Structure 1
Amino acid sequence: MRTRHRLFTGLGAAALITAGLVITPIAAHADNLLTNPGFETGSLTGWTCAGGTGSVVSTPVRSGTKALAGAASASNNARCAQTVAVKPSTAYTLSAWVRGNYVHLGVTGGAVKWANSASGYTQLSITFTTTASQTSAEVYLHGWYGQGTYNADDIALDGPGGGGGNDTQAPTTPGNPRVTSVTANSVSLAWDASTDNVGVSGYEVVRTGQVTSATGTSATVTGLSPSTQYSFTVRAKDAAGNTSPSSVAVTATTGKDDGNPGPRFIQAAPYLYLGWGNPPAAADVMRATGVKWFTMAFILAQNGCNPTWDSQRPLKGGVDENNVKAIRAAGGDIVPSIGGWSGNKLGPNCATAELLAGAYQKVIDAYGLKAIDVDIENTDEFESAAVQDRILTALKIVKANNPGLRTILTFPTLNTGPNSWGNRLIEQAKALNANIDNFTIMPFNFGGAADMYAATVNSTEGLKNKLKSTFGWTDAEAYAHVGISGMNNSSDAGEVTSPQTWTRIRDWSNANHIGRLSFWAVNRDRPNWEFTAITAGFTG
């Protein structure tokens, strides 16, 4: 850390008059409060630069071996900033050595100075006094639009640190950092909260020197490039400026820039059931078909409101977890199917929505899930108004607690669309503001439909129209929230869906850009995984 001697020229004796009160500024000590003030770390640690415009260079420097370069353009002034804890009613001096055209140094909400045209390093300096209630200050540098790259070095904010008095204890390291969603230009993350002897004041998400500040346990890093891998760590800060160790790193690859204005939830995920039918090795199926997602069945209740596989196998340490790991090692992922037609289900066994949300959270935490599917069927769940509402409220709770989590409801249908219970489920999803990502119908067991393509399309159109009328969506918005979960070959009612018919259903689904395609089940798709390969061609 560079320390700079501080001179007072009458300001220390001046009185600040605010709202009739006379407040004498406290004399500041000669301490530089900024993190990485000379960029000698070789990174932008401590600084946040707009849109990735900042970088660390080895020439030209004012002292040491590194300096800041801010690439101002016609549309971005390359603003780089840092927020520090300060004391109220206290005088501070901010200074920096800069070079370039129209380089600005300032305090947000306060004074600013600039150098018009500095071919060599020139020092800018600002003295300011915090307000009676101010505990933080944001200092910044930026260039000017269209004026090219500027440089800055040896930046100092001299004065006493704020917040914690003699607090020197740093917060604990943020736990379980995870990626919750990705677009072509952003990555959203979440993590478990840190603790501190006084209190955590915020967090910083760091990627290759760029810092994004957050007040809670989630953040979205923007300004990223499409189809690019990034690495992120998270650290916590307290009011005294103590910083925790960095978390373990997590990586994410941004999506392709396909011109889509926002992220869509698209999933091709046939059922894989480990409790029946000589289940295949998922990695072998993935290699043979190209499928990436599986809907793993079934999460049921054991001893009340405790989630387990088939009411008997634990979430962790068994065959199910081993399969999840194998699927992910092969480049895929899973969505658990919670519920189903039969068995001891969580919906009726968890007495409140909060308890049910807690059960769902156990499943989410066990596997770090990106999505969950509640398969709501039969009289104990689907045909129970109380359980429908409990499930919807629980899904709303876990979605709020897990930024980026996608939620799916799977339920029966008529060949014309949802029945009265399905209509109620959709209407209550709107009324309770459950924010469900996908409504997946099961278009089979109609009682002997001769043309399964026509019956499937007809029932899906009925679902789309119900979503339109309930939520006020356009056709495109409604289709994007629609899912189809079929049954390969013969249904329980003897209705036959051939590979040719399933291909037509998939092609119709792609043409209308629905959100999800699944079928029951990979276990029944032998010997060549033909339906699975067809499903893998679903692109939304």
Structure 2
Amino acid sequence: MQHRSKHRGHRGHRARASLAGPLALALGAGVALAVGGAGTAQAVEDRNVARNAGFESGLTGWTCTANSGTTVTSPVRSGAAALKAVPAGLDNARCSQTVAVLPNSTYELSAWVQGAYAYLGATGTGTTDVSTWTPGSGTWQQLTTSFTTGPDTKQVTVYTHGWYGQAAYHVDDVSVFGPDGGGDGDPDPQVPAAPAGLAPGTVTSSSVALTWDAVAGATGYHVYRDGARVQTVSGTSATVTGLAADTAYGFQVSAVNAAGESAKSGTVTVRTRTGGTTPNPTVPKHAVTGYWQNFDNGATVQKLRDVQDQYDIIAVSFADSTATPGQIVFNLDPAVGYASVADFTADIAAKKAAGKSVVLSVGGEKGNVTINSDASATAFADSAYALMQEYGFSGVDIDLEHGINSTYLTKALRQLSAKAGPGMVLTMAPQTIDMQHTGTEYFKLALAVKDILTVVNTQYYNSGSMLGCDGKVYSQGSVDFLTALACIQLQGGLDPSQVGLGVPASPRGAGSGYVSPTIVKNALDCLTRGTGCGTFKPPTTWPSLRGAMTWSTNWDATAGNAWSNAVGPHVHNLP
């Protein structure tokens, strides 16, 4: 499948003794000397020489190519605004500013970025121009580099840009920290005001989601529970976990920056629920699965509340791995448009209340989680269960496309099932090659967890021709391809209720293998009723076949919901 704080430097005062006679301008670690009266040398203070470094004044001081930049109120790292820039066509969304500098001086250049590919650099330094970049992140991360100006350099252009064909990137808290070049840079920060608007969001038996208003000049926020600091975050929301059921807690928030910490906000008292998260609904006998994109790749951007009603299982794509083998986290992409994590978890709860299962997908085309030891199996189970508790996910989807170890992944899933209980939804989305025979690692995994497995939705696309259960070769994109390959699983030991047909929602949803909804409906009829078949005739029918899956609900929406409007009712009316 396709994958996918307003920081200003500390002011430094470095005095140097007066020098008589000829004066050599000196630079060391960001210190410069300027000539004063009567041949004396005066220290030049270090500061952030960038103007409007936190974009609190819109794009004042900044120039963005092709009108690619704008300021937004979410996501922001601190304060009330940040830059959002969107590459388009041959434009990489370059936003730049020319700053005043001193010759022969060193400057530390940094910025906080989020979203897709983001670059940070400086040109016109008079020495070696510099740049650094990141392929993107769902959370704020800091890019840093440094440059030294030439002997005659008094201005340098600093810039940030994205990359061609990629999604939007966000920038906040730019800093060009070094000797004051005489420009109108941002002032040093003052201790921020106390946050206002602290309010609870989703409350479970073990967690409370909190949101509050942004504070100008803040680079982060401390979250307090009953007077003890429990979290530090860069945004204006947090979820406090590890709480006892049916217990009242008092929460406060303070704002921080380089100048210090504000007073705490007023206390908000919240009582946790007596039970767990919203109970998992029962998956229908015949179900439609759709992958929901937690990123923007050109398909229609949706919130979970916008996912079409025909989908019974919604796979949130994707979890992210950490430096700890087996451990997963989930980072809500700001490109999706949620104001807070609490809004997202509320959407999950609403979908579950409507009878839908919302699972967290692990893997994807670009994602990978390594589970090849007892420790990594436990790390997976513990982190996955924590995410189920925190967000209300009904279970997990295994979409690992870079090889798996069935022995340890089986251990991981069984540990997770023991924690989550019998209501856990477990789905898989192997590639066609992964389910060609019962000796593959994926097939062995599916059989090993058959008693807790909900459905395997094999991806019948991006594969080329493959063998069917009759030993013949079939080309993708046909009724025969879907039915003859599904037959392998049906004859290989999976229950028919654990088999689904995975197809793209539109030609843009996959590199190859798109089939029209009519072909999908014919394949479903062939496997369950014995009608609508192509040249391949199954030896029997499997009326309890689970249904179909698509990548993705977003591509389906882009195509006017043609896939779900056609396939959804057909699946729900299977025998």
TM-score by length of 2: 0.41
